Structure 1
């Protein structure tokens, strides 16, 4: 795939030399099918991390709204949304081999043409590869909750990250987060509400929109009485 890139501008906002990463290294099992997908399909659907701005029109071969999904896990939700919304382009960022292999296989099995993958830290991808005012939407579904209090500082949804993320969204673009940890949901609401570039589309939490499918894990949790909290904010027009 021929990827056209342009150097990042000098006014690109940055998070300092150290930042909250979108992942933590963990050992994870990978199946033979996932490994084969990584080897055979990644050259077709994955993009290398580069400290240069992506040209989405060149990457996807068309001009269309770009939706960024951070941490797509095994790709179940991303594939379903991309299949239901062929008019949008989806850029998925994930670091774990098993998840990337699974997503690549779903792209192939479903004949999806509107998904590309970057296997790298989401903060660095946002900072270095996504142009300001370019994203039509962002999905962050069930990020690691880091439930222990001493680990809360590792949570992804924090003020510096959200300020960077908002700067990459077009005016009017949406940010959709979801979590099944109540404490984290309130932290998310507080952080998103405090970001001056964003406006809440609801009074507090939002009902789950039709475009976000309910996962098997989520369905089982709801049956057991566990809650799920959605938040939908928009980049202000000002």
Structure 2
């Protein structure tokens, strides 16, 4: 396996997520202490055969939250390894506890910044798919630059995807859907289309809240040209 590509040049690092601070509850801490050693990834460049114990397609779930979609995909695709990443420790702890209760063995976790993970630790052409479901829409005009879908992140994803890989995006915010479509259409590496929601993804979390509020969900699939 080749090592990660050289970090892309980034003029100014923009945080694409809301910082969450606060003390962890005893339950969250106990879940992290027990489950992260079993489902975390080693430090340094990601080597799937070492981290996951086998050679299999790797799917990166960015901003996994409580992990309903990551677990749904892992259950539906036992021959794949799912690496779910989020900055929110309680959500990751809850996801790992739910996966453990269901006997899911192909779900892995990283607590941290997905951009840094992509930039510094994931090798070129090593990902089968990238999932970005219900990212922070950053709806205020002054925050638009914080949206995850951008030229820089798309450059990273395009490099890390295998030739037959795909990027799946879902959002319940119309402005973010338009933004994502515009960015993907403008990027030379991708062809993008609106698609039906995947059957394996539960209607849970942000999707359920968006539907309850009367918002439509847009699903996009982008493949390398």
1:137 and 2:126 are equivalent in the alignment: no
Q: CA deviation at 1:187?
A: 0.4
- Rounded to whole Å, the distance in 2 between the matches of 1:69 and 1:13 is 20
The residue aligned with 2:58 is 66
CA RMSD of aligned residues (A): 2.0
- Rounded to whole Å, the distance in 2 between the matches of 1:159 and 1:17 is 12
The residue aligned with 1:226 is 215
- Rounded to whole Å, the distance in 2 between the matches of 1:192 and 1:6 is 27
Instruction: Return the match for 1:214 from 197, 203, 216.
Output: 203
1:232 partner SS: strand
1:98 and 2:87 are equivalent in the alignment: no
* TM-score scaled by length of structure 1: 0.87
The residue aligned with 1:189 is 181
- Note the alpha carbon deviations across 1:123-162, whole angstroms, 9 max, x for none: 1100111100110001000111111111111111111111
The residue aligned with 1:119 is 111
For residues 195-206 of structure 1, the aligned pairs below 5 Å read 195-200=187-192, 202=193, 205-206=194-195
- Rounded to whole Å, the distance in 2 between the matches of 1:95 and 1:224 is 26
Aligned residues of 1:132 and 1:169 also touching (Cα < 8 A): yes
1:47 partner SS: coil
The residue aligned with 2:155 is 163
The change in CA–CA distance for 1:13 and 1:195 in structure 2 (over 3 A counts) is farther
1:39 and 2:33 are equivalent in the alignment: yes
Q: CA deviation at 1:37?
A: 0.4
**Alignment length, in residue pairs?**
225
The residue aligned with 2:75 is 83
Unaligned runs of 5+ in 2: none
Q: CA deviation at 1:88?
A: 0.8
1:148 and 2:140 are equivalent in the alignment: yes
The change in CA–CA distance for 1:229 and 1:30 in structure 2 (over 3 A counts) is farther
- Rounded to whole Å, the distance in 1 between the matches of 2:98 and 2:221 is 27
- Note the alpha carbon deviations across 1:184-234, whole angstroms, 9 max, x for none: 11000011111111112x3xx222122322225423532442111111011
Structure 1, 77-86 or 178-187: larger mean CA deviation: 77-86
- Rounded to whole Å, the distance in 1 between the matches of 2:99 and 2:32 is 12
Q: CA deviation at 1:166?
A: 0.9
Q: CA deviation at 1:16?
A: 2.3
Unaligned runs of 5+ in 1: none
1:72 partner SS: coil
